[in-house]
C-alpha cells in the first residue's frame, strides 16, 4: 500500500501527488473511447506499476539472499513453508504489477502489437513448457498434440500471443483439481467464431481462414450468472476467490484485448463443477496481404 | 580482483546487489546518480551495472555517454530494466550494452552468472 502523501519521482515525469489522484472525482467517469477503459490521469497507473517493481525486486532478491544465509535451516519444514509463502506472494505482486502496467499502456495507446508471420503451434509449445512445472506440482495432466505442418502461419506478435496462451493455460491448471486434465488442441477453422456467439464480436468473413486453439479443463467451472463478467476488468468468480488462488482479475481482460488486436475472437463454454473450455481464433496469414501496413499494425 | 561499478538510484536494491557481489569476491563501487557515476567511471571499473531509470538521468542516456567517451567505451555495461521496459533492451543493445536484465524476472543467481560470464569474456 502506498503511503499517504507519497510523491512519485521516477520516469522524469512531473511529480504527482497520489492524494490528488485518489480524490479525483473524474476517475471512474473518464473513458478511453477506443478501449472503453477508465482513464487514470497523468499516467498515474503506469508510474505506480513501474514504481512498485522496485520494492518487489528488493523483496525477491533479499528472500534469495536469506535462503542462502539460512543454509540447511531453509529446508526445515516450518521455514520452508514460510519461504514458499513469501515467494508465492511475490509472484502474485509481480503479476499484478505487470497486468496493471499492460492496462495502463492500453489506456495510453502504448500497448503495441508487433505482428509478423507466426506459427501459433510454436507459441503454444512455449507456453506449455512455461507451465509444465506448475501442472506437475498440482498433479494436473496436460494433454497436447498438433501437427505443425497442418497448421498454417498466422499474422501475430509471438510475445503477446504467448501471454494469451499462458494466461488461459495457467488458469486452466490453477482451477483444475488434482488428478484432473487440461487438453490443448489447435486446428484450422473457417469461422472467426461460432455464429451463436459471433453477434457482438465481429462478422465472419466468407472465405477467410483461421487457426483455432482450445484449452479444455476439468476444473471448477464458471457459474451461468458470472459468465458474462469473465472478460471484464477485475472480475474473479466466487469460486476462484474461495479457492484461495491468487489472481488480479486483469488477465482475461488483457487476453481478450490482445486477441482482438490480432483480428481474432475469444469465447468459452463452461459448466459449474465440470469444467471450462476457452477458444480463440487468429486469422491465417494471407500471403497477398503481408504488406508493411499489416505487419506493423 | 575485478572492480564493478553499480549505478542504481534505489538504496535498498543498491545495497542488496553490492552485498551479494562483494560476497562473490568482487570489489564494488557505488553510485546513486548518473552525475556521480560519470566521476566514478574515471576509476576504470572492469564492469558497470546500470539501472535503466536513474533519478537524475535516463540510464540509456548515461549508457550513450559511456559508449561515446574514448576512456570508457570499452567498459562492459549490463543494464537493469523494469518489466514493461523490455523494448529499451533493443536500444541498449544498439548502444553496445553486453546484456539487459529484467529485474523482476531474474534472481540474483542469474545476475551473478551474467556478471561472471561477462568478466570472463573480457579478461
Confidence of residue A246 (pLDDT cuts 50, 70, 90): low
497442418: which residue's cell? A150
The answer to whether residues A37 and A45 touch, using CB atoms and an 8 Å cutoff, is: no
Could A50 and B20 be called an inter-chain contact, meaning their C-beta atoms sit closer than 8 Å?
Answer: no
Confidence of residue B50 (pLDDT cuts 50, 70, 90): very high
pLDDT, tens only, A46-56: 788 888 899 99
Could B84 and A98 be called an inter-chain contact, meaning their C-beta atoms sit closer than 8 Å?
Answer: yes
Chain A positions in Cβ-Cβ contact with residue B58 (cut-off 8 Å): 12
Q: Which of A173, A84, A163 has its CA nearest to residue A124? A: A163
Of the candidates B10, B12, B82, the beta carbon closest to that of A50 is on B82
Architecture of domain B3-122: 3-Layer(aba) Sandwich (3.40)
Could B83 and A102 be called an inter-chain contact, meaning their C-beta atoms sit closer than 8 Å?
Answer: no
Could B53 and A11 be called an inter-chain contact, meaning their C-beta atoms sit closer than 8 Å?
Answer: yes
Question: What mean pLDDT is reported for chain A?
Answer: 78
Q: Which residue in chain B is spatially nearest to A110 when comparing CA positions?
A: B84
Could A64 and B109 be called an inter-chain contact, meaning their C-beta atoms sit closer than 8 Å?
Answer: yes
Q: Is the pLDDT of residue A284 over 80?
A: yes
d(CA A27, CA A20): 11
pTM for the whole structure = 0.67
The answer to whether residues A295 and A285 touch, using CB atoms and an 8 Å cutoff, is: no
Is residue A284 within a helix (H) or strand (E), and if so which, with residue range? none
Q: Is the pLDDT of residue A34 over 60?
A: no
Size of interface A-B (CB pairs under 8 A): 57
Cross-sheet strand order for the sheet of A265-271: A141-144, A181-189, A210-217, A275-283, A265-271
Give the ipTM: 0.92
Q: Which residue has the higher pLDDT, A270 or A24?
A: A270
Sign of the Cα torsion A95, B62, B74, B47 reads: negative
| Distance to chain B for A274, nearest Cα, Å | 35
Of the candidates B17, B58, B107, the beta carbon closest to that of A12 is on B58
Q: Which of B109, B18, B100 has its CA nearest to residue B3? A: B18
Please list the alpha-helical segments (H only) found in A139-231: 158-174, 195-198, 224-227
pLDDT for the residue A280: 94
pLDDT for the residue A14: 32
Q: Which three cell numbers stand for residue A19?
A: 492524494
| Distance to chain B for A197, nearest Cα, Å | 33
Task: Find which of B49, B58, B83, B111 to mutate to test the A interface (most A CBs within 10 Å of its CB).
Answer: B83
The answer to whether residues A90 and A63 touch, using CB atoms and an 8 Å cutoff, is: yes
Q: Is A78 exposed, middle or buried (0-12, 13-18, 19+ CB in 10 A)?
A: exposed
| Distance to chain B for A294, nearest Cα, Å | 20
Could A97 and B83 be called an inter-chain contact, meaning their C-beta atoms sit closer than 8 Å?
Answer: yes
pLDDT, tens only, B76-105: 999 999 887 877 888 999 999 999 999 988
Report in angstroms the alpha-carbon separations of A170 from A115, A177, B84: 24, 13, 21
Could A65 and B20 be called an inter-chain contact, meaning their C-beta atoms sit closer than 8 Å?
Answer: yes
Chain B positions in Cβ-Cβ contact with residue A101 (cut-off 8 Å): 83-84
Q: Which residue has the higher pLDDT, A113 or B98?
A: B98
Chain B positions in Cβ-Cβ contact with residue A60 (cut-off 8 Å): 104, 107
| Domain boundaries, given as residue ranges, for chain B | 3-122
Q: Which residue in chain A is spatially nearest to B110 when comparing CA positions?
A: A61
Could B16 and A54 be called an inter-chain contact, meaning their C-beta atoms sit closer than 8 Å?
Answer: no
d(CA A232, CA A62): 36
Amino acid at each position: 500500500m502506498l503511503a499517504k502523501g507519497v510523491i512519485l519521482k521516477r520516469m522524469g515525469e512531473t511529480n504527482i501527488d497520489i492524494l490528488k489522484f485518489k480524490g479525483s472525482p473524474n476517475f471512474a467517469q473518464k473513458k478511453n473511447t477506443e478501449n472503453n477503459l477508465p482513464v487514470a490521469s497523468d499516467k498515474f497507473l503506469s508510474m505506480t506499476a513501474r514504481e512498485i517493481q522496485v520494492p518487489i525486486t528488493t523483496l525477491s532478491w533479499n528472500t534469495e539472499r536469506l535462503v542462502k544465509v539460512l543454509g540447511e535451516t531453509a529446508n526445515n519444514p516450518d521455514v520452508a513453508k514460510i519461504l514458499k509463502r513469501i515467494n508465492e506472494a511475490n509472484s502474485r505482486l509481480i503479476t499484478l504489477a505487470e497486468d496493471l502496467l499492460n492496462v495502463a499502456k492500453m489506456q495510453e495507446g502504448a500497448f503495441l502489437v508487433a505482428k509478423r508471420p507466426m506459427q501459433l503451434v510454436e507459441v503454444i509449445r512455449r507456453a506449455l513448457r512455461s507451465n509444465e512445472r506448475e501442472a506437475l506440482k498440482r498433479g494436473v495432466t496436460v494433454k497436447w498434440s498438433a501437427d505443425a505442418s497442418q497448421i498454417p502461419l498466422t499474422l501475430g506478435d509471438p510475445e503477446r500471443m504467448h501471454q494469451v496462451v499462458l494466461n488461459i493455460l495457467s488458469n486452466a491448471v490453477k482451477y483444475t483439481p488434482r488428478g484432473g486434465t487440461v487438453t490443448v488442441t489447435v486446428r484450422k477453422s473457417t469461422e472467426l467464431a461460432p455464429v451463436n456467439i459471433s453477434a457482438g464480436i465481429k462478422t465472419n468473413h466468407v472465405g477467410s481462414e483461421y487457426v483455432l486453439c482450445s484449452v479444455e479443463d476439468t476444473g471448477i467451472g464458471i457459474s451461468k450468472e458470472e459468465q458474462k463478467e469473465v472478460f471484464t476488468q477485475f472480475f474473479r468468480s466466487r469460486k476462484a476467490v474461495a479457492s484461495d488462488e491468487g489472481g488480479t482479475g486483469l488477465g482475461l481482460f488483457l487476453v481478450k484485448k490482445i486477441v482482438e488486436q490480432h483480428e481474432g475472437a475469444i469465447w468459452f463454454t463452461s459448466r459449474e463443477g465440470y469444467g471450462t473450455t476457452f477458444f480463440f481464433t487468429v486469422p491465417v496469414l494471407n500471403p497477398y496481404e503481408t504488406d508493411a501496413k499489416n505487419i506493423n499494425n | 580482483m575485478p572492480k564493478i561499478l553499480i549505478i542504481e538510484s534505489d538504496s535498498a536494491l543498491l545495497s542488496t546487489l553490492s552485498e551479494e557481489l562483494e560476497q562473490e569476491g568482487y570489489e564494488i563501487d557505488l553510485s546513486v546518480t548518473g552525475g556521480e557515476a560519470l566521476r566514478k567511471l574515471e576509476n576504470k571499473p572492469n564492469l558497470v551495472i546500470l539501472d535503466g531509470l536513474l533519478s537524475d538521468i535516463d540510464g540509456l542516456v548515461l549508457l550513450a555517454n559511456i559508449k561515446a567517451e574514448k576512456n570508457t567505451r570499452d567498459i562492459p555495461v549490463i543494464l537493469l530494466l523494469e518489466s514493461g521496459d523490455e523494448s529499451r533492451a533493443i536500444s541498449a543493445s544498439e548502444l553496445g550494452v553486453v546484456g539487459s536484465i529484467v529485474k523482476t524476472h531474474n534472481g540474483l543467481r542469474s545476475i551473478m552468472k551474467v556478471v561472471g560470464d561477462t568478466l570472463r569474456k573480457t579478461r
